[in-house]
């Protein structure tokens, strides 16, 4: 057996042992609290406790989904309906929230999973470290420990082998060695089996995934329409308040200069100079407006060079690392560019950082563009903090893009963006 396989088996055993504690303690405790909370609904107290218990249960299940993906590559999709707004106060709000949560079929599936996880799920998990421990136990007994134990309490059992002599101690050690080898081979499979069992109870069905997909597409379509309308309004406002106003002023200056050409040539010359300055300012504003719609460097040289140019304009030093083998689809480049621009702007305004790191890459064999922006600021950012991150999510929505934020108090802040798209193409 290779060293790598042995290492994977030992790691799977350690993870299974850790999860077994989470199952027998966390899942069992949450199941008991859920049953008690439901029983107290008749007394009215359950309307106060049930939302909290349901939210804790969902957090526990989501943590298991995350571990399933990270440890065994098992994807478990959630099928929860949107949670009610927890900020509302009053008994009526609690009753409404509890009613909505209890009408969600996923709530009852979670409750059933808690019971299964604390019993069958725990048994599957505890089997993984037990196989290895049997091997160690057999060697310990063979070292002579079986004798005082046998004299004090009689025959010792190692699995199905009774140990009462040196011969049976050797048989026990061989049996333990067999269990140990079996554990080295099967422990990763046992861990994966546990996660597959979880998926049976808390995973979304194909029909539910399709329904979620339709709801997601409907939401992103509305967001795209709203974003387009907002962008048009912004362009119209910028044209009206900027270039259009300057062009109107320039026309008035030219008209006045024409009237003064014969009477006061000096004044007419001054008005012509003002008109020329206004035309230059209007041209600059039009260029800035066009750059805001689609930066020329993005169109000409692609996302990598565009973000490098963007980083050079930041007042905070930005270290950029780009790993792209070619050009991405134009809509993806545009969305990614403006998403990076918004994140960098937020970091400069709100983080208090003195350095930012920007990584953009599209790995070989992958199917999505990945962007990571890290700053060494004060942290504490959130998706609901009014920092514009929700706007980035809406911009990425039509591409099924995902934005994740990690910003503990004290920093650092890490914003990751993933946009599914075709691989880069050399141009």
Q: What band does 198 get if pLDDT is binned at 50, 70 and 90? A: very high
- Give the Cα separation of 133 and 269 in Å (integer): 97
Q: Which two tokens stand for residue 268?
A: 């007419």
- Give the Cα separation of 68 and 160 in Å (integer): 33
Closest CA to 361 of 307, 319, 322, 330: 322
Residue 142: predicted pLDDT: 77
**pLDDT tens per residue, range 274-299:** 777 767 666 665 665 555 555 677 77
Residue 238: predicted pLDDT: 54
Q: What is the DSSP string of 286-324?
A: HHHHHHHHS-HHHHHH-HHHHHHHHHHT-SS-EEEEEE-
**pLDDT tens per residue, range 312-370:** 888 888 898 988 888 888 888 888 888 888 888 888 887 788 888 999 988 777 888 89
Which strands form 413-420's sheet, in the order they lie side by side? 318-323, 356-361, 368-375, 413-420, 402-406
- Give the Cα separation of 323 and 14 in Å (integer): 36
Q: Which two tokens stand for residue 303?
A: 């996302």
| Range 99-116 average pLDDT | 89
Closest CA to 399 of 369, 372, 424: 369
- Are the C-beta atoms of 97 and 86 separated by less than 8 Å? yes
| Range 122-145 average pLDDT | 82
Side-chain half-sphere CA neighbours of 306 within 13 A: 26
**Which of 99-113, 205-219, 402-416 is the least confident region?**
205-219
Q: Name the 3-class secondary structure at 275.
A: helix
Residue 362: predicted pLDDT: 87
pTM of the model: 0.56
- Give the Cα separation of 307 and 333 in Å (integer): 10
CA distances from 156 to 123, 136, 148, 159 (A): 23, 15, 11, 10
């Amino acid at each position: 057996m290779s060293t790598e396989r042995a290492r994977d088996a030992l790691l799977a055993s350690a993870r299974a042992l850790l999860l077994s504690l989470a199952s027998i303690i966390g899942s069992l405790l949450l199941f008991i609290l859920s049953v008690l909370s439901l029983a107290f609904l008749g007394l009215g107290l359950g309307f106060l406790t049930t939302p909290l218990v349901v939210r804790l249960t969902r957090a526990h299940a989501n943590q298991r989904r995350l571990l399933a993906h990270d440890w065994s590559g098992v994807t478990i999709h959630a099928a929860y309906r949107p949670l009610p707004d927890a900020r509302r106060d009053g008994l009526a709000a609690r009753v409404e929230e509890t009613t909505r949560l209890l009408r969600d079929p996923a709530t009852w599936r979670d409750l059933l999973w808690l019971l299964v996880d604390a019993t069958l799920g725990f048994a599957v998990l505890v089997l993984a470290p037990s196989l290895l421990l049997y091997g160690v136990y057999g060697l310990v007994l063979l070292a002579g420990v079986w004798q005082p134990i046998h004299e004090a309490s009689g025959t010792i059992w190692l699995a199905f082998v009774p140990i009462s002599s040196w011969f049976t101690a050797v048989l026990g050690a061989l049996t333990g060695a067999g269990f140990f080898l079996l554990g080295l081979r099967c422990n990763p499979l046992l861990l994966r089996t546990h996660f597959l069992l979880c998926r049976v109870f808390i995973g979304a069905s194909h029909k539910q995934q399709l329904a979620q997909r339709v709801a997601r597409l409907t939401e992103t379509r509305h967001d795209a329409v709203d974003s387009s309308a907002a962008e048009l309004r912004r362009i119209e406002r910028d044209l009206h308040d900027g270039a259009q106003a300057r062009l109107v002023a320039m026309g008035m200056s030219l008209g006045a200069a024409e009237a003064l050409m014969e009477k006061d040539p000096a004044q007419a010359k001054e008005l012509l100079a003002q008109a020329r300055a206004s035309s230059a300012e209007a041209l600059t504003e039009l260029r800035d407006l066009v750059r805001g719609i689609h930066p020329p460097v993005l169109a000409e040289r692609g996302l990598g060079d565009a973000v490098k140019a963007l980083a050079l304009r930041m007042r905070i030093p930005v270290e950029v690392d780009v790993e792209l083998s070619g050009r991405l689809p134009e809509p993806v480049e545009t969305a990614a560019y403006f998403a990076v621009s918004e994140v960098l702007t937020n970091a400069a305004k709100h983080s208090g950082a003195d350095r930012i790191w920007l990584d953009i890459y599209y790995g070989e064999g992958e199917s999505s563009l990945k962007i990571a922006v890290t700053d060494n600021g004060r942290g504490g950012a959130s998706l609901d903090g009014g920092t514009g991150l929700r706007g980035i999510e809406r911009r990425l929505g039509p591409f099924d893009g995902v934005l994740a934020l990690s910003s503990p108090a004290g920093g650092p802040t890490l914003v990751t963006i993933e946009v599914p798209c075709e691989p880069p193409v050399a141009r």
